[in-house]
Amino acid sequence: MRKAGRVKSWHADKGYGFINVHADVKDIFFHVTALQNRSAPPATGDRVMFELATSKDGRVQAVNVAILGTEKHAQPKQPAANAALLLFALAALAGIVGAAFIGYLPREFGTASLLMSVLAFATYYVDKTRANRNAWRISEARLHLIALCGGWPGALAAQQLLRHKNRKQEFQVTFWITVVLNVGAVVLWKTIMTA
């Protein structure tokens, strides 16, 4: 049976929040994977409909959470940011492959970056699918390692297209560090080789 309530709190960095039904009932926990539509994050005051379920540890939680409306009039313009980052990822991958094709970078580097980007996208897809099923997840360390090894354009594209790991601030900080390290290593290699 579906119930109605309002989002009392939402922790975007941790991917969970609580729903208030009424004063006599304890706030109900819900996870990001319980949202029916994840295109816009929930916000305090949003009206929601949901079902109750019991988690593996015996806790009552909300599932199939649908956001009905919001107290806020202005929603964040995330789609434009997503499109810009997606274009950046595709342009970066095309630039790396193009530079390898014309001989500015070794062809092996272009091939590796392309293959690692495909691997990164596939890994993000598998991880998101597992998250939706509450199954065993791929570690964040593994996702970062693939990005560090040249797959960051594919990882960035996956974050935007799949809307996965793109709102978790701690993950994003580490991800962009891997991008800087990868690009820095390429620039350093090129500088040493041309010196």
**Residue in 185, 149, 184, 163 with CA at minimum distance from that of residue 41:** 163
Helix, strand, coil percentages (3-state) for the chain, rounded to 5, are 50, 20, 30
Domains identified in the chain and CATH numbers:
3-69 (2.40.50.140), 78-194 (no CATH)
Q: What is the pLDDT of residue 80?
A: 65
Q: What is the pTM of this model?
A: 0.62
Q: What is the pLDDT of residue 93?
A: 95
How is residue 42 annotated by DSSP?
-
For the chain, which ranges sit under pLDDT 50? 71-77
Give the list of residues 6+ apart from residue 59 with CB closer than 8 angstroms, or none: 29
Q: What is the pLDDT of residue 73?
A: 40
Sign of the CA dihedral running 59, 63, 68, 70: positive
- The 10s digit of each residue's pLDDT in 86-97 is 999 999 999 999
